[in-house]
Structure formats: structure tokens, C-alpha cells
Amino acid sequence: MPRQFPKISLSEVDESVRLLAEKVYASVLKEEDTKDALSMYTVPEDCPIGLHQDREMEMLKEIAEQYSEESTKRKKNFKMKRSQLVSQQFPSSLNINPEWAMSVVTPLLFPGTPVCPSIPENSPEFQRVTISGDYCAGITVEDYEQAAKTLMKALFIREKYSRLAYHRFPRTTAQFLRSAENQKWNVEDEILPDMCPCPREGEDPYTTEGIPDDLNYSLQMKDGIVYVYDDAEALKQQQPHSLPYPDLETFAIDLTPHHYITTSHCCPIPNDPLYYGFYLHEMLNEMAELKELKGVPHRDFYNVRKVDTHIHAAACMNQKHLLKFIQTTYKTEADRVVLEKGGQMITLKQVFDTLAMDPYDLTVDSLDVHAGRQTFHRFDKFNSKYNPVGASELREIYLKTDNYIKGEYFARIIKEVAHELEESKYQHAEPRMSIYGRSPDEWESLASWFIQHKVHSPNMRWIIQVPRIYDIFRSKKIVQNFAKLLENIFLPLFEATVNPQKNKEIHVFLKYVTGFDSVDDESKHSDHMFSYKSPKPEEWTSDDNPPYSYYLFHMYANIMVLNNLRKERGLNTFQFRPHCGEAGSITHLVSAFLTADNISHGLNLKKSPVLQYLYYLAQVPIAMSPLSNNSLFLEYSKNPLKEFLQKGLCVSLSTDDPMQFHYTKEALMEEYAIAAQLWKLSTCDTCEIARNSVLQSGLSHQEKKHFLGANYLQDGPDGNDIRRTNVAQIRMAYRHETLCNELSFLVEAVKTEASSTQVE
């Protein structure tokens, strides 16, 4: 059966819910207008008196519930279901012994019950912690069940969007969602990204042999989304090829429950137990984990695979590397023509003469590409750091692909960085290259640069970043509306997919592209309130920049249609991996929860415990860059990476911009070293972060099997090959059991509410 995007109309949803969502949007915009950027992470936003009153009200509700026969009956019913169906809460495919599951859950449901743990054979022995007592102390049964229902709905929606776009969705969470629907999960139903494996030794990565035939489909952009038609007649009849085509109205409706639970503080389920639970686990089992790691032959932190999951190509070198390269080219190629201005040819020597400087006298200080205190909360000053010695001419010569020398210097720098990665063997990177949307010819130019200069490396995969700068292009009359920007970005990709023989270079380049990113300063405020009433891209003709959620939806929508088309043709698919949560509104993280495979930064999750809990339950990968944040938005000591790691979120370490933030040749190792020293991370911690980086990367299935183990797709200790990852089986078992426990509570709360409703 063809894959289709299930659409929802406003007539099918509760009007009160829609109005509530719009109210939430408006309140968020109001907060943005009045918020002091410098106090984002240090000053509590809620009024202490109001919080005290809220606690009193909750306490009164809980006291009243104790005297309610109905509430007592519902709580007892919930406990009975938990005890009777505990074997169903842990699906058989998880390889969790029901007797052991009972031993974990029974003391929680019925305090005073003796504990007789029966650990499954394949589970490592370690000291487990059980929290017993009332399962929803501090809140009413009704509130707990409503919160669980809302969280489950949010997970179902993310699963829908992930499956449609060929993004990953964790097996464990999917299994529990099927259990909530009283269905059985099958591994055959799992949907994963499809990445091209690295060419084998001796194979030509730039070969144009074996390219699929052209289909000559017709293409048309409609409502900001590229539609595919089998032929001109189908286009004339408006009968598109059978692919899932999303619409803005459905997306806005799907966002409603997420916005509500994350901004109205309606969800009373805490996630602090995740933090303190890990603290107890670490206190009791740290030496056991270390003992496990000491017994692993050959493997240690230095030779486990690590992927720099967030790095920009234009700053992938450190400042010393760039300085030496500039000095070397001046010494050997001073008379080479490198610029053309007004019809005049300019040599490298003339460029430096105009700047009144001798490259020999340059230092890293005078190069002035390193971020510091002056860039904190000043994104404009940070962007200027891409200009060596403050000269845009040097940026064009050394850090661009589309210049007079056809990006030769930039390619040489990247190849030197790639060589260092290959020498290290165990480090990989995913550099981001820019496609701006000014012209459809950008793709051909970038692909030609990649092939002509032979930039491919087995230790690199490429991500395309799209800056959110429509307002600049519109003010300069480069594009007439937002739809034209989207067309310039995505139409060439569809043409290369439909007719690869006519677009051979783009086809070859796309084999090594693993995803797309949306980049720019998130703290920039948009006056437009995103909703189902937002104008369509063809109608967006104002000079104002669309809001973040508007960008994300239209990028996701085109990537989703493109992935389905490419999967149909047996080609690789792409992930959507936007910058998100570095600054700006919390609603950015809500939009990304639906649309993104994984995100970069995620700092603002610290401000929303509910959304943080959702990101944990869905195991949404987060590429964090503490050194980058330290220079731009958040002091290192306040970075939530350690907290996120302890709670079990899927976090990795990345460098962002080594040229601006790092000092050594191995910027990624520098990032790990500083984090380990400052937060006192154990070897198991750093190896867990490294394993996460491989999981969330765009490496192929074959490479991940080689780096992590043949069963890496399985969750828990069964999916971990300690001989390759150096992550203790105890740690993996703890993470898996904790996630199962959290999900089982939500599933049974939803089932209990449903059964109670049927009885009534």
C-alpha cells in the first residue's frame, strides 16, 4: 500500500484546543519581547508567590482525592493492572524475563512485598535501585493519567513524522507504543535511514558508472512543496505520483498538544528521578563498570570510534592551521591571480599589499578568528570572525567554494583536515556546506567543486546547511517570495533524483550527503505568529523573515517527499538535523521534536522539564558543543550536557567551529578532554558519548555494524559489543531498564484510563 501523509482538517479537531494553542503561541511571543537575553539561564521566570499558590492548590486536590471513593478505586485498578500485565509491558522481543520485571515493579506497587530478584541470564549483575511507595505522590490520579495520555499522544505524533521521513525512532519506545495499541511490534515494520556505504579500497568514489536511468517525471512546486508527476499529462490533470505530501494545516494541528504541554506547565510527571536514579546507580556500580572495562582487550577511550556530529566546513581547521596555510600559499603562489574585481585581475600579493600587511608577520592574534568574551550574546560579532584579519577578501579566497580559483584553497584545507582524521583512524566528521537558495545553480557548482578537487574522505560525510536569511535575499530582490527560495534549494535535488543521467555530478555528490541543517541566530525574533493561518510560501512576499517553525516545516516537508522518492529509486535518504534550542523560544524545540531526526545544541531543553522528558522517551539525539556555547550563549559550568547524559538523553559531543573555539589539532579530543576534566566524567561516560555520536551520525548501516557491533540496532546490553564500544554492559542494562520502566508507567496509565472509561 502506498505511503501517504495522514491529513487533518480543522473541522476534525476541538475548537477549544485550537484556541488554546493560539493563546500559548501568543504568550510565548510576548515572553520573547520582554525577556532579558542576559538572564535567560540565571533568573527564574516564574513568580515565587504564584508557584507557592500552585503547590497549595495541588496539595488540596490530592487531599480531596484521598476521600474520594472513585479515585481510590481508580488507583487500585491501576495497581492491579500493573501487577497483572507486567509481563506484557516488557515485550518478549526485549528479552526481559517477566519474573525479573515483577521483582522490580512489585515493591513499587505494593510496599512491604519481599523482593526476590530473578535476573535474566543475558543481563549483567549489578546493584539495582527500586523506588517504592505511591506511584504518583504529589499529584492526583486524574492528573497523572491525563499527563500520561498527553505524553503518549506526543510520542505517537513524533513516530508518525519519523516513519514518513525515514528518520530513526527507537525500538524500545516503538514496542511500548504498539503495546498501548494492543498490537505486536515486528522488526520488519522498522524504518531506518538509508545511507551509502563508504567505497571500498580501490573503488573510485567519483565514478559515474551504474547511474540509474532517467524517469523524466514532471516536477512542480505547490504550497512550498515539490510535487512529482509521472508525465506532463498527469501534471495537467494534477494527479501527483503516489508519495506522502504533507500540509501546513495538519502540521499546525499536530503541534498543538506539544505546545500546550511544554508551555502551560500542565504535565506533572517529574524527570528528576532520572537524574537522582543515575546518581545512585553510579555510586553503587561505578567500580563494577570500571572492572568491566579493564577486562576488555585492546579497546580504550582513545581507540573507540567518535564522530564530530556538528562541525562547519568553513571553520573545520584550527586557527594555527589556517595561519600556516595562508603563509605557505603566499610564499609559494604570491603571483597567482586569486580575485577578479571590476574586470581587474588581482594576485595574492596585491591582496595583501592592499591590506597593508605581510603574511609572514601574521600571528593567531592578528588573524583574529578566535571567539572570546566579546562574542558572548553577539552573534553578529561571531559571524565576523569568519573573516581573517577582518578582511572579507581573505574569506572569499580561502573559505569559499565558488570563487575565482574555484575553491581550490578551501578544498586543500579540508583535505588536510581529512588527512589528519584518517591518520587518527578513530575520528570521523560531518562537515556542513552551505546552500543559500539564491540560485538553483548552487548545487551544480558545489558538486563540481567536490568532484574536481576530489574532496571525498572515508572519515567524512557531508551535511548541507541552509541559512535562514530569506529577508536578506528579498530585500536585495534576489528572490520574489519564500517559495522561490525553497525551489532553488530543493528542485535541483528532485531533478537529480528523477533524471540522474542528466545530473551526474549532483547524483555522485549526493551519495556522500547524509542530511540537511537549518542554521542562523535563533535569538532573532520574528513578529509573525506561526499557525495554520500563516501565508503559503508563494504568498510570503514581505521583507520579513518567516518564523523558525515555518522554515522547519517546509524543509522537513520537502526532505520527506524527496526521501520517499529516493527510497523508491533505491537511492540513499537524508536526515534533517537542524540547529535548535541554542537560543530563542522554546517552541523551536517543539517544532524540531516532530520534524528532526536529531538536533544540534538543545540548550533550551533545560528550561522545559516536560519537553526534556519527551526528548528522553523518544531518545532524540542531541549534538552538544559546550565550548561553542561558552563563547556565545551559555557559560561552560552552566551547560546542561552532564545533566542530560545522567538522565539518559542521547547526547554527543561536537566541536561546531574549531577555528573559533579550539586550540589543538584534534579539536574533538579537546572537547572530550575538557568535558571529562570539568565534570569528572568516567571512562564509561566518555565512551557512552562516543557511542551515541556514531549512532546519531550519518554513517552507513555497514559502518555502524563494524564500529559498534553486529547487533547495534537492538537496545540494551544485547545491542552493545563492549569489545568495540568500551561501554560497560552494566551501563547499557541500566539505561534500557530505566527507559522500559518509564514507558511502562505511561502505557499502563493510558490503558487504565481507557478501561475505567469503558466501565463507566
Mean pLDDT of 151-180: 94
Q: How far is CA 605 from CA 9, 207, 262, 612, in A?
A: 30, 44, 10, 5
d(CA 560, CA 575): 9
The reported pLDDT for the residue numbered 93 is: 45
Which of 504, 432, 421 has its CA nearest to residue 458?
A: 421
Mutual angle of helices 48-66 and 141-164, in 10-degree steps: 110
Instruction: Please state the domain extents for the chain.
Output: 319-406
pLDDT band at 135 (very low <50, low <70, confident <90, very high): low
Active site residue 588: no
C-alpha cell at 450: 567536490
CB-count burial class (<10 Å; 0-12, 13-18, 19+) for 440: middle
The reported pLDDT for the residue numbered 136 is: 55
Name 344's bridge partners: 341
Backbone angles phi, psi at 218, to 5 degrees: -95, 145
Q: Which fold has domain 319-406?
A: Invariant Chain; Chain I (4.10.800)
The reported pLDDT for the residue numbered 109 is: 44
The reported pLDDT for the residue numbered 270 is: 63
C-alpha cell at 52: 507557592
Sheet strands side by side (includes 651-653):
579-580, 599-601, 622-624, 651-653
Question: Which residues have C-beta within 8 Å of that of residue 19, sequence separation ≥ 6?
Answer: none
Which of 609, 605, 613 has its CA nearest to residue 587?
A: 605
Spatial contact of 731 and 716, defined as CB atoms under 8 Å apart? no
Q: Which of 51-55, 106-110, 393-397, 415-419 has the lowest mean pLDDT?
A: 106-110
Q: How many CA atoms lie within 13 A of 613 on its CB side?
A: 24
Q: Which of 74-88, 176-190, 519-533 has the lowest mean pLDDT?
A: 74-88
The reported pLDDT for the residue numbered 528 is: 79
| Type of residue at 108 | L
Backbone angles phi, psi at 79, to 5 degrees: -65, -40
Marked catalytic residue, from 258, 259, 507, 601? 601
pLDDT band at 527 (very low <50, low <70, confident <90, very high): confident
On the question of pLDDT at 610 being above 70, the answer is: yes
d(CA 245, CA 650): 30
